[in-house]
Structure formats: C-alpha cells, structure tokens
Structure 1
Amino acid sequence: MGTLPHIAGLTNKNIFLVEFKEPYVERNLRDETTTNIRSIIFSTKGGYLAYRTDKRAEVIKCADWSVAASIEGNIKDMLFSPLDNYFTVWEMFIATKELPQGKPNLHVFDIAKGKIIASFTQKNQTGWEPKWSQDEKLFAIQAGNRVLVYEDGNLERFTHTINAEKLHCFSIAPSTTPAYYFSIFALGKSGQPSVWRVLQYPNFELDKALVSRTCFQADKAKFYWNRRGTNILTLTQTDVDKTGGSYYGKQSLSYGDVKGNAGNMVFNKEGPVHALAWNPGNWNEWLAVYGHAPAKATLFNAKCDPLFEFGTGSWNTIYYPPEGTHILFKYPPQNLNSCAHVLLGGFGNIATGHIEVWDIRGYKRLGKCAAPDTTALQWDPRGECFLTATTYPRLTVGNGYKIWHYTGALMHKRECTDKEVLLAINWQPGTFPKSELSRAAPRGIEQAVIAPTGAYRPPGARNKPSTFTFHEHEKPHRPGENANAAPSKQAIKQKEKREARKARKAEERATGDTSPPAPAPPRSAFVSTGDPEKDKKIKNINKKLSDIEKLKQLKAAGKALEINQKAKIEGEAALLKELEQLRL
C-alpha cells in the first residue's frame, strides 16, 4: 500500500482513480470498453478494489491495480471479509423447470486460493450478507430460523447453530478478545413481544443469554456494537406507527453489555432517532441525533449518562473518522487519542446540507460548511478530510463530488460533464501517514457560502419581529450547566488574564524577545496612620491603584479597553495625590 490514499469513482463511462494530492488528476482504471459496470467497493483493509457488471465481478489488487480474481455470473451484490481474505458475492435466486429448488446463489471466494470454497442459498437480497468475526475465525450465515456457525475457514460443515423461532436478524460483535458474542432479534407471535438477546460463543442456548430484552412494538432491529464488542445498542422499530405520532414508525432504543447489564434508553426530546454511532477511538462513548426538527445531538457514555449537549441543529447523520485517526492540533494534549472529532450533517430531507465538525475532547466546533444535495459522505482514512458526493440515481442533476478539509475549507470539486453521471465514489481504507493537513487548514478554492436558515413562519407572522428565543437545551453545553447564564466575574477575569498572556507572548515572538517579563515592583506594606478613617481610605485607594495597574498591563498587551476602564487609568494621578495627602 502506498503512502497516499486513493479515491475510486464510478461513472456511466468509466472507473477512475484519484491519488490524493494536488492537482487531483483522474486516471482511468476501466473505460467504456468494460460495459455495464454497476458498482464498486474497496475491501475492508484497502488491499483490493472490486467491481461488478451484468456478467462478472472482478477483484483488483490496489498495489499495482492488476486483476486478482474474476467470478462469472450476474452478480447483484458483493462483500469483503474483515481481513481481506475472502470475497463474497450474491446472485439473484432463480428457480427453473429443470431446477425447481433453484441453485446456490451466494458464493464465498478465497482470494489467495483463487477459487470458490463454498456456496449457499439466500433467496432474499435483504439480509443476505454473512457475518465474520474480526479475526475471521468464525463465519456465520442465517438459514431460516437458524444461524449456522463455521470455524477456522472450513465452510463445508457448520459446527454450531443458534435456533430461535421467527429469527429476523443477527450480528457478531467486533470483539478484540478471544471471546465472541452474538446478538439476535426474533419477532413475537400471538400477542407475545419481540425479543433481542446477546449470546456468548459457543453457549447458544437461549436460556443462557447474557442479555434478554423484550419489546412489544418491533418489526425489525438494528444492532450497534462498540469497538471492543462489550456494549451494544439495539434500535427496534415498526414499519408504521399506528398511533400516527411518527412518520418513521415507532422506535425504541435499549442497551446492554456482556456483563449482563441492560435497560431502556429514553431521550429528553421527543421524536425519532435519526442516527446512532459509537466513537471508534473510545469504546466508552456514543453519540445520538434525535428528536423532532431541529434535532438534538448528545454525547453519552456506555452507561447512557450524558457527557455533552451539542444543542439542536439541522442534523440527521453522524460520521466518525476511521478508527485510530486523530487531528494533530498545534498544541496537542498528552493523550493524542483524546483528539477525536466527529461530523454532524443534515442531508436528504434537510435541503441545506449543513455540516459541522466538532472536537469531542475540548467540545469545540472545528469547522462548518454546507454541501446541499449530498447523497454520500465519507472520511478519508487519515481523518483529515472528507468528501461529499451527489450520485445517480438518487439525484439525476448536479452529479459530482467535493473534497473538504475538516475545518470546512473546500479543497477540490469535480462536476460531471454533459451526459455523464456519478454512480458511486469511495475512499480507499488503510493506514497512511499523517500530512500537514492535520495541523493547518489549506487555502480553500472558493468561499463556502452557508445560506442562513430560519424556522418556518406562517404568512401572518412574516415581515414582523420574531419573538423566537433559544432554550437552554438548544445550545451547546455540559449537562447541568445553564447555557443562558452570563459568565461569572471570576470567569471574565480569568479570560482576560489568558488573553493578556496570549497577546504578550505574541508580541514577544514578533519582537524576538523571549526573556521572561520583569516582575512588577512590589507595593510598600501598609502602615497605619493611627486614624481608622484615614486607614480605611488608604486601603480603598490602594485597591483602586492595584486595579489600574492590571488595566495598564492589559493595555500594554494590546487589549482594547472600554471607556470606563480608560477613565480609571486617567484618574491614577489624582489617586496618588490623594494618597500622599492622607499619609501626611
């Protein structure tokens, strides 16, 4: 694998590659002579690129872009295993008079051996994908109400099964330990609730489940495991909310862990759950975007305690950079892994394409931009940039892609020409060295225009002053803090000191003087005059002179002072004269 990641794109005319360096030149990998290319995917580790046509699927080595394997057939979908050792394809299931039972339509291809090692029958394209453990020692596939588990790459005979009536779906945790965990979801029947469970391999008896949670209104479920495979979020949903309360169907979120702890999650804003994601760099944190528009975003720990409220915004998606990536700030903390960042975006039914990138350690917004009509978004493997794309057939006009820096600077854009459409685009996964883009934002090729948006106002309220105000929970803040409260005097004082230090250091760097500043001369100790009234006045004047000294330091550091602060400095001479008279 090279030192720079590639971008692979598919149009109706070719497959093109872009090496991620200026001037971002596209070169053809396949042209119009390879007809009817339907889709492309990179392998999990980035070692291979695969594409499929109506007649075959080909696997290409990314090291030299040569063909590593070719599988004949009308391939409709394809998948790589976690370690890039296996390539799986799915064909449409067809039954004929000669073969009324049909024939196997899911094939597992061993890339190193160059041959198909197993074939299975999966009639439905929805949920056809088999599952692998992260180390590829376990392979599992659903067959009706059973999950068949194979071991050590031997796919000729399964070794274990999970049996559950009305089994709907399952997943394997991305465990980093020798323990393997499975989650399953089974539909209820005859008024009985649906149920999801967590099982530990190879103890697949349902009564030995580590976690078992019931849900009465659930037609389907989606599992969200954390990076270590120790904690899980399960989002269950009905296709239709019969109460009419939600367009998305009724949803329910519950959580569990491999120690047996479990419970239901209730958010503090009503509405659908738009997106959920675990932080890949921190197994103990997850982020949710939820609630009626404007949606709310909150960071939680594994115990579902809120850590930070991002407020509300035009969001419905969450994109974390790949696992292990971080930004190298100018003054990085000791723990570089703490520099995790996340992208919150609003696409689809949110026409603005609003994007914000946040540092979730310092809880600061790093940048923002707008990419309307975005149908695909992906981080680069180093976590420095991301691309947005408008693809066909989701949108038939305005096809193309853009590359953005995490601060919101637009670095490159490419628009499709006449009679050309963009079908797909992917960034090559893998481990690549950091570049200067992780430290500083580049000069954007154009100013990103973010159109101001406002809440809908009925015709009768238009052209009139708005009475809308933000509530506390709609502004970014830590739980328990009052986001609307004015900062305290102590906080203002500390902020002024920090700004004065920064200004002083900047001035020293500009003049080349790095010697420490001379300490301020100490004021003489207070000596009583014997008159309590005079002593009180002297102490009061000394306090005012001390405040004036601080204001003079701020002024010397370049801090802009207010009118009343300037008046205090001008009154220093009168105070000194009064102090001298009091000491006589």
Structure 2
Amino acid sequence: MANAENTSAQNQYAFRAQKSFGLIGGSPSYEAVSGFDKPDATVKMYRYSQDGNLIAYAVPGSVFILQAETCQVIRELAISSALELNFSPLGTYLSTWERPVKLEDGAQHKNHRVWSVETGEEVLSVTQKAQEGWDLQYTPTESHAVRVVGPEIQVYDPSNWSKGVADKLKVEGLSMVSLSPGKNPSIAVFVGEKKGAPAIVRIYGLNNLSLPHTCQKTFYKADRAQMKWNALGTQVLVFTHTDVDKTGKSYYGETGLYLLSAAGNFDCRVTLDKEGPIHDFAWSPNSKEFGVVYGFTPAKTVLFDQRVNITHDFGSSPKNFISFNPQSRLLILAGFGNLAGGIEVYDRRTLQKVCSIDASNTSWCEWSRDGRFIMTATLSPRLRVDNGIKIWHCTGSLMHVHLVEELYQASWRPGLASAAPPFPNTLPAAPTPSESIALSPVKPPAAKPAGAYRPPGARGLAAPSIFKREDEGGAPRMPSNGISTPPRGVPGSAPHQGGKGNNNNNNNRQRYVPGAAPPGSAGGPAGGPVGEGGPNNRKGGQQQQQQHQQQRNNRKKDGKKDRNDRAENGGTDTPPVVVESQGAPAGGPPADSFADGLDPVAKKIRNLTKKLKAIDELKEKAKRGEKLEVTQLKKIDTEGDIKKELAALGGGA
C-alpha cells in the first residue's frame, strides 16, 4: 500500500484551465490530491520546482508556494498580476514576471523580481520588457545567475544579491545566451548573421569571463538559434534558422544543425541526407547520443553519437517530434500539429518498436519521471474542442482520461533522475486502468485486423444492385437533371447509318453537333457541313442561333412536363421520351437513337417488371443469410402492390 502511495505521489500531475486548477495523483487511482484547497480566482500560471518538492501558482493579487506532496501553503507573496513564474534549480528562489506598465513618477517599472522562498523577501528587482527569455539562468548549484541586458551578459552571485553584478561580458550583436549544466558550467553566446558577416557561436568558461573563448564556430544562413546542452554540459547542439529560404524550396526558411564541444576540441555540422527543414532534435539523458527528425514529409529520424556518426536510421515516416524517457531506455517518435498524432514507442536497447498509440489532436507530450507513462494533452487555444489529458502506459495501454474544458496547461510533477526508480531490464506490464476509461466518452481505439482488400465477390457477397447494369437487374440510370439526353456523336466520325457503311468522302461528311437540329431539317442548313456559308451568311447564322435557342427552351419545357407526369403517375423512374422527326435525312442520326419507341403503358410495365426482379434478388440474399437494410426490407413489402399494378396494366401477375 505504501508503495502504491509513493508511486501515486511521484506520478502526480497538475493542470490549469479557464475555470479550474488541480493536482491529481498518479497510478493507480488518479484521484485529486488530498488537502489541496482549490483557489476561487482564476489561476494565471503555475510552475513546479525542478526537484518536484514545490509548486507555485499565481492568482490576481497573490502568488502561493505549496509543498507539492502535502499541498501545505508555505508562502504567500503579494504580487498584483504575475504572468510568469520560475524556480531556481534547488528551489531556493522564485522569479516572477509582470507585464511592464508606465509609472506615474516616470520611473522604470521593475517587473522582474526574485524572491526568497524561505523568507518571502524580495532579493532582486530589475526591468525586463520582453517576456521571451525573461528569467535568469542559474547553474545547477545556484553558484551563478546570468542575465542578458542588450549586448551585455551580467553575472550575479545568489549568495550575495546585494553586491549587484559580480561579472560582465559585452558581445556586440548578441541575440542569445545559453548556460550549460554540469560541474564546470560554460556559457554559449550566439550572434546572428548581419550585413554579410557570418553568424558566430562562442563558448566561454563562466568562472572567468575575462579569458578568451574556448570554442568558436562561424556559419551563414543563421538569423536565429536554439541551443540544447547535453546533461553533462560538455557538448551543445546549435539549431540555426532563417526566415527566408533563398532557394525557394521552403516557405518556412532554412535550418541547420551544428555540434560544438565546450572544451573546443570538436565542432562539426550535422550532415543530413534529406532536403527539408529540421523538425525536432533531442539529447538522450545519458549524453552519449542525440536524435534528429528532418526532411520534407515524410521526415526521416536518425540517431547520432557524440562524434556525429549515424548509429541508427528509423527511415521515413510522418513524424516531427522525438523524446527520450528519463532513463534513456525508451524513446518516442510522433507526428503532432498538422499531422495525425500517431506515437511510436521504441526500445533503445533493441531498436524495436514497442507499440503504436493513436493520440490525435495532441499539443503537449511528456514522459513521467519514472519513464513508464506518457502524458498527451489537447490544449487551448491550439484547439478549443476535446480539451483534456490522457495518460498512456509505455506499452501502449490507455490508463486514464481527464477531460477539461478550455485546458491551458498540463505537466507531470518533475523530479531528479537519481530519485526515480531504476527502469527494469524487461518492459513493465501495464497496471489496471482507472475508472475514467469506462466513464469517459473517449474510448480506446479498437485494433483493426490488418489484411489486403478483398472485393465483395471474393468475400462470397453479391455486388450491390447500384453497381449492376440494367440488363443484370440493376436500377435504371437517370441523369442528375432528370432529362434523357441523346447519345453524342464522336467528333470527326461519320454519322450513324444504322449499321450500313458510308462511302462518302471525308470532305463530304456532314457533322452532327449535339443539341443542334440534324442537317437538312427545318432548323438546320440546307446543305453542307455546319458552319459553312458565303460571306453574306451572317444574318442566316443569327437566325440559326435563335432557332437553336428556341429548340433548347422547348426541350426544357418538355422535360419539366414529363417530370410532372411521372409525379402524377406514382413517381416512376421512366425517362422521358424524346421524339424526333421521322423524316431525318440519311446523313443524320436515326430516330431510334433518341427513343426506344415504347408507349407509356409499355414502359410502365417494363419498369414494374424490373422492380419485381430486384425484389426477387433481395429475397435470394435473405435466403443466403445476408443482412438487409431497412430500405431493402421496405422494398420487399411493396411486392404485392407492384403485382396488382402490373395486373391492372395487363402485364400479368
């Protein structure tokens, strides 16, 4: 029992929505953490400390700091409207950021403040206008804190905040700084490409910024950069990006990836063998390898070692996300955003796929601290429908569903890697899912049997009547406008002669134009192909166009009259009869190509007979044990009425 409670506390997660905020225990119960008093006001932001012992959340007028496991409030800070929160690595300090405002006395608003968690005292306050990259960067031991002010890097000593800036470094054109983890911290500085000068990345030792840099790399096509250090702080991946792709191959600009060593003994461009953008990249927690997802869709995913040698190629698939679990044993490859949301889990030891997960509409994905569970969340405003959290076991089973309206934020309770239980040699079995699976309208997707497509005939099923020809018992075809149209002649071919050959020369052929009167009739030209005539034939052409328009109007009226007649006669599907002149010349289409010559009674009998034949086919299907639709059963019920109507017309029962 104690072990289950410990697991539940370790796998705790928090969520923030427009109207709610809560802490939920992990497997197996997934119940709300006892002792937590939900705030009445709207929560603007929450943040766990890196060791998972503390959690802070901001409401209008205050910021509360709680023990994450017991939910005991240990500190309340009077802050009017904090929008950002962040703990230092050891949880000693809490940083807050407010939107800058203009003060009445004209002084600068010191909207970035640092507080002591133990005493609640404000130890530092500075002006920070930009929300992106607003917080200080701390070393893992909190021995140094780094802040960027314009082109200057300022270093503070957290043990003596009152001393002010302890060290500084000025770099012209500075646009980004990244502080490494590890025992010997370094600081990487990025200067973007400008006015033909290449972009530069330099690495300095943090303990003495007055010394020259230990590593430098210059390259082009880099307006902005993102840096990720390995866990040891010995190597950094630099992801470069330009807003415009000068080659015109990508709307989203050009990307590149470089690996630099903090000691300066190795730097290299990560060569990628497929054109297209870099979608994602991530270090393994063991600091020995990293993965990259790159290329036009379907993207490739490749694992590299520390010397940028390929260790495994996962091939091409619609993916744009990669993540290792904290124990470096499993990794996720997924396609989120505009992709379908499929997740594939791989065992790093065997490089075999463990499972596939259908997590559509996912906008947040994260491993639990023990590496056994995966959280996927649909957040607003990325998507405003179906917001909620799903917890999956690493073997693919859905463990928990938590639907939350207008969900803005969700995350696991973090923890130190050393505090997490070791991952077993064999993949752990999935525990029993929570009751939320049965109560939730979101059901886990059922596995579909794989196999090749087999047509109905190969499955022992008869083809539907809609796909049959009329002579095979299928339903009669009707044009979409309900008007029967005559067969069209092939342009350039001889007119139909009822099967007889035509010995006329090609130059003397008379072409039949669909919709026009046959040549030689009252509406057509007296002789010669359509369109021929002397230079004074303009008036005759206008008269011919008027006659053609009158014929089209007459056909529309006849079609409308035929549809009304069919409605009065019980709605039969008999196509209207188009009667043509019996005196058509030998060169024009025969009358049989426009109508079948049956009177309305004979057509009625023919259609009723087809309906009886179709009913007989449905009866045969029922005898073979096939399941009929409701409309088909209703059609069988009309058999008696059809026979009576057929007998009244003299067609026999």
TM > 0.5: yes
Q: Per-residue displacement from partner, 1:235-272 (whole Å, max 9, x unpaired)?
A: 11112324332232211211110231212222011111
1:275 aligns with 280
Q: Secondary structure at the match of 2:14?
A: strand
AA aligned to 2:177 is F
Matched residue, 1:373: 361
- The yes-or-no answer on 1:429 pairing with 2:401 is no
2:26 to 20, 30, 38: 20
Q: Which residue of 2 aligns with 1:534?
A: none
1: distance between equivalents of 2:214 and 2:422? Answer: 41
Q: Do 1:3 and 1:433's aligned partners in 2 also have CA atoms closer than 8 Å?
A: no
Q: Kindly indicate whether residue 106 of structure 2 is the aligned counterpart of residue 119 of structure 1.
A: no
Equivalent position of 1:395 in the other structure:
383
State the match for 1:537 in structure 2. Answer: none
Render the CA deviation track for 1:531-562: whole Å, top value 9, x for unaligned: xxxxxxxxxxxxxxxxxxxxxxxxxxxxxxxx
Judge conservation of contact 1:409–1:441 (CA < 8 Å) in 2.
Answer: yes
Q: Equivalent residue for 1:359?
A: 347
Are residue 307 (structure 1) and residue 311 (structure 2) matched? yes
**Most deviating of 111-120 and 303-312:** 111-120
SS at match of 2:249: coil
CA contact (8 A) 1:160 1:202 kept: no
**Matched residue SS, 1:122:** coil
Q: How much has 1:152 moved relative to structure 2?
A: 4.6
Question: Which stretch of structure 1 is more off in the superposition, 263-272 or 194-203?
Answer: 194-203
CA contact (8 A) 1:410 1:448 kept: no
Aligned-pair Cα RMSD in Å: 2.4
Deviations 1:108-148 (CA, angstroms, capped at 9, x unpaired): 11112221111111111122121001111110101111110
What is the correspondence of 1:217-256 to structure 2 with a 5 Å cutoff? 217-256=221-260
Q: Secondary structure at the match of 1:36?
A: coil
Residue by residue, what CA displacement relative to the aligned partner does 1:386-416 show, whole Å, maximum 9, x if unpaired?
Answer: 1111112221100111110111111111223
Structure 2 residue corresponding to 1:184, chosen from 162, 182, 189: 189
SS at match of 1:17: strand
Distance, in Å, in 2 between the alignment partners of 1:250 and 1:209 is 28
Aligned 1:569-584 pairs, distance under 5 A: none
TM-score w.r.t. the length of structure 2 is 0.62
* Segment of structure 1 superposing worse, 392-401 or 422-431: 422-431
The alpha-carbon distance between structure 1 residues 398 and 63, as it changes in their structure 2 partners (threshold 3 A), is closer
Distance 1:166 1:381 in 2: 39
Q: Displacement, 1:203?
A: 3.7
CA distance in 2 between counterparts of 1:303 and 1:237 reads 23
- The question of 1:344 aligning with 2:333 is answered yes
Please report how far the alpha carbon of residue 30 of structure 1 lies from its aligned counterpart in structure 2 after TM superposition.
4.5
* Match in the other structure for 2:65: 59
| SS of residue matched to 1:153 | helix
Asked if 2 retains the 8 angstrom alpha-carbon contact of 1:273 and 1:291, the reply is yes
Whether 2:80 is the aligned partner of 1:73: answer yes
Deviations 1:408-440 (A, max 9, x none): 111111223xxx322221111123446999521
CA deviation after TM superposition for structure 1 residue 209, in Å: 1.4
Name the aligned partner's letter for residue 305 of structure 1: N
Contact kept? 2:46, 2:85, Cα under 8 Å: no
- Paired amino acid for 1:17: L
Deviates most, 14-23 or 164-173: 14-23
1:107 lines up with 2:113 in the alignment: yes
Q: Is the 8 A contact 1:370 1:449 kept in 2?
A: no
Q: Is the 8 A contact 2:342 2:357 kept in 1?
A: yes
Q: Secondary structure at the match of 1:204?
A: coil
Query: 1: CA distance between counterparts of 2:246 and 2:87?
Result: 39
The answer (yes or no) to whether the contact 1:211–1:257 under 8 Å persists in 2 is yes
Q: Secondary structure at the match of 2:161?
A: coil
1:209 matched residue in structure 2:
213
CA distance in 1, matches of 2:208, 2:137: 18
Secondary structure in structure 2 of the residue aligned to 1:155: helix
Return closer, same or farther for 1:113/1:296 CA change in 2, 3 Å cut-off: same
In structure 1, C-alpha distance between the alignment counterparts of 2:321 and 2:146, rounded to whole Å:
30
Indicate yes or no: 2:394 matched with 1:409: no
Deviation at 1:274?
0.6
In 1, Cα distance between the equivalents of 2:74 and 2:191? 40
**Contact (CA 8 Å) 2:7, 2:26: kept in 1 or not?**
no
Correspondence for 2:429:
440
Asked whether 1:170 is paired with 2:177, we answer: yes
Alpha-carbon distance in structure 1 between the residues aligned to 2:447 and 2:336 = 14
> How far 1:448 sits from its partner (Å)?
3.2
Q: Distance in 2 between matches of 1:302 and 1:51?
A: 39
What letter corresponds to residue 375 of structure 1 in structure 2? S
Higher strand share: 1
- Deviation string, structure 1 residues 274-302 (Cα, Å, up to 9, x no partner): 1111101x211001111110111111001
* Aligned position for 2:135: 129
Specify the SS of the correspondent of 2:165.
coil
Question: Which sits farther off after the overlay, 248-257 or 224-233?
Answer: 248-257
Query: How far, CA to CA, are the matches of 1:221 and 1:375 in structure 2?
Result: 23
In structure 1, what is the equivalent of residue 97 of structure 2?
Answer: 90
Give the drift of 1:187: 2.7
Mean Cα displacement is larger for which, 151-160 or 436-445? Answer: 436-445
What are structure 2's unaligned runs of at least 5 residues? 438-442, 451-653
| Identity over aligned pairs, percent | 31
Q: What is the CA distance between 1:154 and its match in structure 2?
A: 2.0
CA distance in 2, matches of 1:245, 1:292: 10
Change (3 A) 1:394 1:450: farther
- Pick closer, same or farther for the CA change 1:268–1:435 going to 2, 3 Å: closer
How far is 1:375 from its partner?
Answer: 1.0
Residue 34 (str. 1) matches residue 40 (str. 2): yes
- Give the aligned residue type for 1:144: G
Q: Find the aligned partners of 1:191 and 1:219 in 2 and give their Cα distance.
A: 12
Change (3 A) 1:393 1:452: farther
Matches within 5 A, 1:282-321: 282-321=286-325
Relative distance call for 1:291 and 1:23 in structure 2 (3 A) is same
Contact 2:45–2:85 (CA under 8 A) maintained in structure 1: no
| Structure 1, 195-204 or 223-232: larger mean CA deviation | 195-204
Identify which of structures 1 and 2 has the higher relative contact order when contacts are C-alpha pairs closer than 8 Å and 6+ apart.
1
Output the amino acid matched with 1:415.
Answer: L
- Please state how far the C-alpha of 1:211 moved relative to its aligned partner: 1.4
Is 2:34 the partner of 1:49?
A: no
CA distance in 1, matches of 2:213, 2:447: 50
Cα drift, residue 39 of structure 1 = 2.2
Secondary structure at the aligned position of 2:269 is classed as strand
Could you tell me whether the CA contact under 8 Å between 2:136 and 2:147 is conserved in 1?
Answer: yes
Q: Secondary structure at the match of 1:283?
A: coil
For 1:23, the aligned partner's letter is S
Residue 14 of structure 1 contacts residue 30 of structure 1 at CA under 8 Å; is this kept in 2? no
The whole-number CA distance in structure 2 between the counterparts of 1:148 and 1:451 is 59
Kept in 2: contact 1:78–1:87 (CA 8 A): yes
Match of 2:150 in 1: 144
CA contact (8 A) 1:2 1:63 kept: no
